[in-house]
Amino acid sequence: MRTFVHGAESWGVACPRRPSRVPGVTMAGFRVHELEGLRMVPHPAVTVLLDFGAGSPVVDAGDRHRQRGSVVAGPGTGSGGAVRAWGENVECVQLRLSPVIARAILGVSPAGLDGAVVPLEDLWGREASRIRERLADVPSWQGRFALADALLARRYGAGPPVDAEVARAWHRIVAARGLTRVDDLAAEVGWSRKRLWSRFRSQLGLPPKYAVKLVRFDHAAHRLVAGESAARVAADTGYADQSHLHRDVMAFAGTTPGAMAGEPFLAVDDLAWPGRDTSAPGGRDLADTP
């Protein structure tokens, strides 16, 4: 486990030594003594929080009900800075699922989440409490990751796949970092724009145009967190100008481009998630403590 330090925040962060057996799954472990109103920034993935610690996180979605413990949030959840997390002595495994595989693993389409944060128990029933108990019994983070991965692989193998055309369109959006047009996507997969919109929305939980904007925002947001100027980020990531970037950041994150570096939800990514630079400042190697 490593220590993530960002301003007043200090968390324990663990990463799996091996990638998931399920393509499109990444995971990280967190140990947080005190979580004070962490803003959830929209991400182009389904987020699953597997809570197992002595404390219990609370996810507050503003005018929606507060949810405690293990939860699921669809892609793009948190727009406008409306979702925050609280808690003491929180220990959890956080999963990020590509929308392409989320339906198979969750048992329902991400569209069924309707942008809300829902209890995992609503989707998995008693299995949600059983996985919590089993994670708590495992003495190491690597063991917890292996347990979670086995569960995901079993559910994924039994679940229904999305249409190949929908998966192709999604992967094209991600590969282009949001710099693509919906008409071009429809032509590439051989569908009409209307059919692509309908199938994409019903199977992945968001319309293709919104997916393009979300993926582009995510790329731009991480560059802002890395310290790049708003002018440079706007020019390189497909925004018309800085004002366009400013509007998107405000709409998605509820803050300004200049304040993005202060968002620990994003700043921790370089340390926590596979595929990013885990040698970022603020991280230091610790033993694989339980």
- What pTM was computed for the model? 0.91
pLDDT of the residue at 277: 35
Q: Which of 89, 30, 28, 29 is nearest to 54 (CA)?
A: 89
Round to whole Å and give the CA distance between 113 and 91.
24
pLDDT of the residue at 36: 86
173 Cβ neighbours under 8 A, 6+ residues apart:
180, 185, 208, 211, 212, 215
Q: What angle do helix axes 164-175 and 99-106 make, rounded to 10 degrees?
A: 130
pLDDT of the residue at 231: 96
Q: Residues in the chain with pLDDT < 50? A: 276-290
Domain 2-161 has CATH 3.90.79.10: no
pLDDT in tens, 103-143: 999 999 999 887 789 999 999 999 999 999 999 999 999 99
Look at the alpha carbons of 153, 20, 74, 129 in this order and tell me if their dihedral is positive or negative: positive
- CATH fold match for the domains 2-161 and 164-262: no
- Map out the domains of the chain as residue ranges: 2-161, 164-262
Q: Cα-flanking dihedrals φ and ψ of residue 275, to 5°? A: 90, -10
pLDDT of the residue at 64: 56
The CATH superfamily label for domain 164-262 reads Homeodomain-like (1.10.10.60)
